[in-house]
Amino acid sequence: MDRNNGQDGCLPSSDAELDLRGVICPYNFVKTKLKLEMMQSGQVLSVLLDDGDPIRNVPRSVENEGHTVLAQERLDKVYRVLIRREGND
């Protein structure tokens, strides 16, 4: 599933990046959650994830934590997910 909230087809820019290619579940979610906790509300994290369980589980898990998945895009054999940190700083 591709999500994109940019009306002109452009993805929003990110404030931080996390490359989790090759990182297995649940460690990829744990690392994403820890990175989001270090960010301020409203900032955007770009996460690179492998196909399969990571791209199915990490976006759903961060949404369950109250954050917003802004977009997902497939880049060859990897996915880029943009997540906006929500909540109090």
With CA atoms as reference, report the closest residue to 84 among 32, 48, 20, 23. 32
Q: Please tell me the distance from the alpha carbon of residue 87 to that of residue 79, in angstroms, as a whole number.
A: 25
Candidate list 11, 16, 25, 39, residue with the active-site label: 25
Buried b (16+ CB within 10 A) or exposed e, 67-79: bebbbbeeeeebb
Respond yes or no: is residue 25 known to be catalytic: yes
Active-site residue set: 25
